[in-house]
A and B are shown apart, each in its own frame.
Chain A
Amino acid sequence: MSFVKKLAMKRNLCLNFNAMDFSEPQDFREWARRMLALRPLMMVFLIFGIVISELRFDWAEQVLGSYLVTTNAQRPESGSIWEVGHRTVTARQTLEQLITDRQSAQREAREAGTFTQIASNLPPGQGAMLSSEHFRRLYLTLPGTIAHEIVAPFELLRLLSEGRWVRTYLENEDYGLKIYLLNPENRVLRELRISSQLLYQIKRVELALQGTLEDLPTFENRIYPAERFFKALDSLPEEDLGSVLSQPEGLLGTPGRIVRVGISDEAVSGYIELGFEIEEGTRRKVILLKGREWAVWILRSYLEEMSLETQTGSGQGL
C-alpha cells in the first residue's frame, strides 16, 4: 500500500483508492459518469467555494496583510516618504540646535548681571536681545566714569522719555560688545560700543569690588597704608589735590574704612588708576578711581620718600 493511501486511511478521509479507476475512459459516457461522480463534484464545489469565499471575504489579502504587519518592525525605513521623513527629522534637529544655541545665548544674557558676563558668555558673532529695562539695570551697575564712556545717562533718559526704545540687541564682536538700542520696528535708535579695553576695565572694577589690592596685578609693589597715603596727600599743594582725587565724594559715600591704597603702574591717556581698599566688617573691597598722571607721580614720589624714611628710621618697610 502506498504511503498516500496509508495516510489517507489513517486520517479517515474515506478515500478508497482501490475503488478508483485510473484507466482512460473508453467513451464519452464513461467520461461523463466519472466527471459527475460525487468525489469530483465535491472537489469542484470545494475549489469553487474557496474561490467564492476569497472573492467575497478577501481572506487571502487579509492573511498576507496580517503577515506583513507582523514583519513591519523588522523592515527598513525606505521609500520616498521615509526619505522625506528623514530629511524632516534632520531639518528639525538642525533647527532645534540653532534654536537651542540662540535661546541659551539669550538666557545667559538675561541671567548675566554685568556686561563682562554677557561678553564672556556670548559666542563670537552671536547676539542676544534684552529689554530696555534690563539694559538699564546693567548700565547702572557700572561706575559712573565707565558708564559715561559708553553713553551719557542723559542720552538714555532722552530715549526713554521718547518712549521708542523698547529692546536692546547685544552682539559679541572681535573688538568688544556692540549694542543697538532698538525701537519696536527693530530700527536702531542708537548704536553703542563697549571696546575690549573698556570691558577689561569693567572686569577690573568688578574684581576690585569683591577682593583686595593683591587681586589686581597692576598695583603690585605700590600698595601703601591709608594713613601714609593721606599723609602724603596732605603734603601736596591745595590746588593739586583735585588732580589726584577729582571726586572724593564717591569714596565718602562708601561704607567702611579705607585701609590701604594702591597706585597703578600704568598710565592711560594721562591718567593713573588708584585703588582704595575698604574694610567693612570682615569683608574687603576695592574702589577704583583715576588721578591725573602728573599729580599722582608727585604723590608717589612723596610716598616713596616716606617709605625710605620709615625704613631708615624704624627698619620697617611696606
Chain B
Amino acid sequence: MTFIRMVRAAFYGTLCLISVMALIGAGMFFIAVRDLPRVPEPLSRIIETPPTEIFAATGERIMVMGGREFIPLSDISAHFIQAILATEDHRFWEHHGVDKLRTVKALWVTLVKPGRIEGASTITQQLSKNLFFSFKRSYMRKFRELLVALQIESQFSKREILEAYLNQISMGVGANGVEQAARTFFGKPASELTLAQAALLAGLPKSPTRYNPYLHLDRAKKRQRVVLSRMEAVGYITGDQAQSAFQDELNLQPPSRVARTGSYFLDLVINNLEERYGPEVVYHGGLKVATTIDHQVQSMAEESLRAGLYRLDSMLGIDEGVGRSSGGEGLRPQGALVALEVNSGAVKAMVGGRNYVETEYNRAVENNRLPGSSFKPFLYYTAFEKLGLNPATVFIDRPVTIPVVGAPDWEPENFGLKHEGPMILKRALMKSVNSIAAQLVAQTGPEEVIATAHRCGITSTLEPVYSVALGTSGVSPLEMASAFACFGKGGIRHEPFWIGRVEDALGRILEEHIISGERALDPSIAYQVVDLMRGVVDAGTGSIIRRMGFNLPAAGKTGTTDGFYDAWFTGFTPALCTSVWVGYDRGEGMRDTRGVGITGGRAAAPIWADFMRKATEGDPPREFKIPSDIQFKMVDPITGMEATAFTLNPIRVALREGQELQEHAVWEEDPVDSGKGELPSQSLPF
C-alpha cells in the first residue's frame, strides 16, 4: 500500500508540477510577448547595410567598415553550408525552431554532468539572438529568443533563415557574414571555398577570437578537425575526404597590412570622416573613400621605421623584445614618419608609432615635439628675404649673447662647443651652427621667422622668442613634411591631404579634393634655401644619407633638441617629402651606451635614407627646378669670395640676379653683443 501511495503522490505531484509549469509558461509568454521585437520582412532588409570602404590611391581596398554584403544561398559554397549545419545544427531542416531532443540532451548533460554545459541553440535561435538580443544571460532573454525563433520559423522558409544566418554570422577580425570572411581569410568569394577552408571557417563562430587562424592557427586547425568529424558523422563527407581536407593547404591570405588594427593612417582618415559626416554616416552610410596612401610606400615606411627603431634600441642598449630600456627608466623610444607628394601635398605614407597595437597615439599628426635645428630653413629664408642676405654672406661663428627684454640674456651654444670663426651662410646651415642662426634671428626678429614658417604650412602655435629659430616650439612631423615640401615645390604651398574623394554607395560624389597650390615663398629665395639644404645632405650633418647610398638629388635638414629628447630629419626630392621623428614619449634623452647623445643625423636620417631609397627605387634622377634668375658660383666657404684654383674645399652657392660675391673678405656686422666670450658649458639645439 505504501508503494501505491508513493505512486499516487508522484502522479499528483507531477500533475501539479506540470500545471505550475504550464501556468508559469503562460505567464512568461504573456509577459515576454508584450515587448517582443518586431521581425522585419524580408530578413535581408535590415541585415543589408552598405559597407564604408576605404581605398588606397593605387586602387586596393584597404578597409571595410560596418556594412554587410547580403549574398544568396546559391552563392555560398555547398561545403560551407554543410559544415555549418553539421557543426551548429544538423537537424536544421527537420525542426521548427527548437531542437527538442537536443534540448533534452543538453539539459541532461548540464544537470547530470557537473562542470559541463551543453548548448542546444538551433540556427534559428542563434539568428534570433544575433539579430535582436544582447548577450546578457537571463531566462527571460532566452525565452524571448525562443519565441522569436518560433516566429521566424513560421514566417520564413528554411532557405531564407539559413541565408540570413550565413550573412550575419560573426567570424572575427571584423568579418561579418560568410562572404566577408571568405574574402578576409582566403581572398576569394564564399562560392569558391574548398572543403578545408569551409571547415576552418565553420569552426570560427563558436569563438572567433579563440580560433582566429591568424593568431592561433593550431587551435583553428583543431577546430577544423572537429568540424570535419561532425560532417563525417552527419554523413556529408567520408572519412577519407575528412582526412584529406584536414591535410589540405589552407592558403590563408596574409592579414591586410593596413588593417583596422595597425594603421595610424586609417585612424586619421576615419576621424576626419567622422568630423565631416558624423559617425552614423561613416559606419552605416556606405561611403566609398579614395585616400592618397600608396600601399607599397606605406609598407616601406613601416619597415624602415621599424628597422630604424631597432637600430636605435641597439644604440641605446635596450634589450631586444624586453620593451623597456635596460636601465628600466622608461619605454622604448618611439618614432613617426610622414611622406607626402611635393607636387600636391597628398600623403603617401604615414606611421605614427612603432606599434599601433601597443599605442594608438599618432605621433605623426598629434605629436607636438620641438624640431630643433630642422627649423632653421625658415630662419634662413627669412634672412635672405628680409635682410637681403645670400648664401655666400659671411658671418662669424663666435659665442653670442642676445639681450632679451625682461628675461635673462640668451646665450645659444653650438653642438660641438666649438666656434670656427668666419664662414658663409651655406656652410653655417650645412654644419648647423647655432651661433650664426642666433645672429640671424636677432636681426630678422622671431616674428618674421614665425610668419615664414606659417606661410610654409606650420600650423602649430609658435612662441615669438628668439630661440624659436632653433626650433623651441613644438610641431608635428606632418607639419614639417608639408612645410618643407613648400621649399621643394619652389615656394608653392599645398595643403596636405589624405582623402581624395568621397562617394556614397551609389557612386554619387560627396566631395573631391582639388589640388591647388598657393604661392607662399619667392621661388628664387626658396631655391636658395633648397640649395643650402642640398649641402646638408651632400656634405653636412645629414651626409649619412649619401653614405647609405641614397643618390638622387635631395635636400633636407637634421634636428636635435637640447638633452637629445628629439631627433629629426626632414628632407625631400623634387617628388617626395618625408619627415622622420624619433624620441621617447616621456621626455627622456637619447644617449648611446657610451653616453654620447643621439642626434637627428644618427637616428632619424638613416630611417629617412632607408625609406627614400626604397620609395624612389627606379625613379630617374630629377633635379629641382632652377628659377631663371639663379646663377651658381663656386666660393670660398670662409671668405665668401669667388673660388680660385687655390681655394680649399670651395662650395657652390646659388645667387639671385643682382647678388654679387664679395671682392674682399668682409664679415657681416651684427647687432649682437659678443662681449661674453666664454665657451658654453652645455650643448644646445642642433
Contact = CB atoms under 8 A, between A and B. Distances in A.
B278 interface: yes
What secondary structure prevails in chain B residues at the interface with A? mixed
Interface string A198-225: 0000000000000000000000000000
Given A76-B38, A82-B38, A65 B510 contact: no
B625 interface: no
A84 B510 contact: no
A186 B513 CA distance: 7
Contacts of A75: 35-38
Interface residues of A, number: 45
B504 A99 contact: yes
Given A91-B285, A94-B278, A180 B514 contact: yes
B163 to A, nearest CB: 15
A304 B344 CA distance: 60
B158 to A, nearest CB: 13
A153 B504 CA distance: 38
B281 interface: yes
B150 A64 contact: yes
Interface string B32-60: 01011111100001110100000000000
Nearest to B164: A81
Contacts of B287: 95
Contacts of B148: 68
Interface in B508-551: 508-510, 512-517
A86 to B, nearest CB: 9
A78 interface: yes
A91 B39 CA distance: 21
Given A58-B95, A91-B281, A91-B284, A68 B36 contact: yes
B646 interface: no
A235 interface: no
B313 to A, nearest CB: 42
Q: Of residues A61, A71, A182, which shows the largest number of chain B Cβ atoms within 10 Å of its Cβ?
A: A61
A85 interface: yes
A81 B685 CA distance: 58
Contacts of B154: 62, 65-66, 68-69
B285 A94 contact: yes
A55 B49 CA distance: 38
Contacts of A103: 508
Contacts of A99: 504, 508, 510
Contacts of B278: 94
A202 B37 CA distance: 62
B192 interface: no
A82 B150 contact: no
A25 interface: yes
Nearest to A64: B150
A186 B37 contact: no
B100 A55 contact: yes
B281 A94 contact: yes
A80 interface: yes
Interface in B472-520: 500, 504, 508-510, 512-517
A182 B512 CA distance: 12
Nearest to A78: B37
B55 to A, nearest CB: 16
A170 to B, nearest CB: 11
B380 interface: no
Contacts of A154: none
B132 A72 contact: no
B139 interface: no
Given A65-B150, A99-B510, A186-B512, A88 B97 contact: no
A61 to B, nearest CB: 4
Contact of A82 (B37, B284, B514): B37
A94 B130 CA distance: 27
Interface in A89-120: 90-92, 94-95, 98-99, 102-103
B236 interface: no
A95 B50 CA distance: 13
Contacts of A191: 516
B138 interface: no
Given A62-B154, A72-B155, A73-B38, A84 B133 contact: no
Q: Of residues A55, A81, A90, A182, which shows the largest number of chain B Cβ atoms within 10 Å of its Cβ?
A: A81
A227 interface: no
B433 interface: no
A280 to B, nearest CB: 43
A69 B155 contact: yes
B277 A94 contact: yes
B280 interface: yes
A64 B510 contact: no
A84 to B, nearest CB: 6
A169 interface: yes
Contacts of B153: 61-62, 65
A71 B351 CA distance: 55
A92 B36 contact: no
A164 B318 CA distance: 55
A28 interface: yes
A62 B95 CA distance: 11
A84 B280 contact: no
A187 B515 CA distance: 5
B68 to A, nearest CB: 9
A180 B100 contact: no
Interface of B: 1, 3-4, 29, 33, 35-40, 45-47, 49, 95-98, 100, 130-134, 147-148, 150-155, 168, 277-278, 280-281, 283-287, 344, 500, 504, 508-510, 512-517
Given A75-B37, A84-B284, 8 more contacts: A58-B98, A62-B153, A65-B96, A65-B155, A69-B155, A77-B38, A88-B49, A95-B504
Interface of A: 25, 27-28, 31, 55, 58, 61-62, 64-66, 68-69, 71-73, 75-82, 84-85, 87-88, 90-92, 94-95, 98-99, 102-103, 169, 180, 182, 185-188, 191
16 contacts: A28-B3, A55-B100, A58-B95, A58-B96, A61-B96, A61-B97, A69-B154, A79-B131, A85-B40, A85-B49, A91-B280, A91-B284, A94-B281, A99-B504, A182-B514, A185-B515
Q: Please provide the 5 A-B residue pairs with the shortest distance between their CB atoms, ordered closest to farther.
A: A65-B154, A79-B132, A58-B96, A91-B285, A85-B46
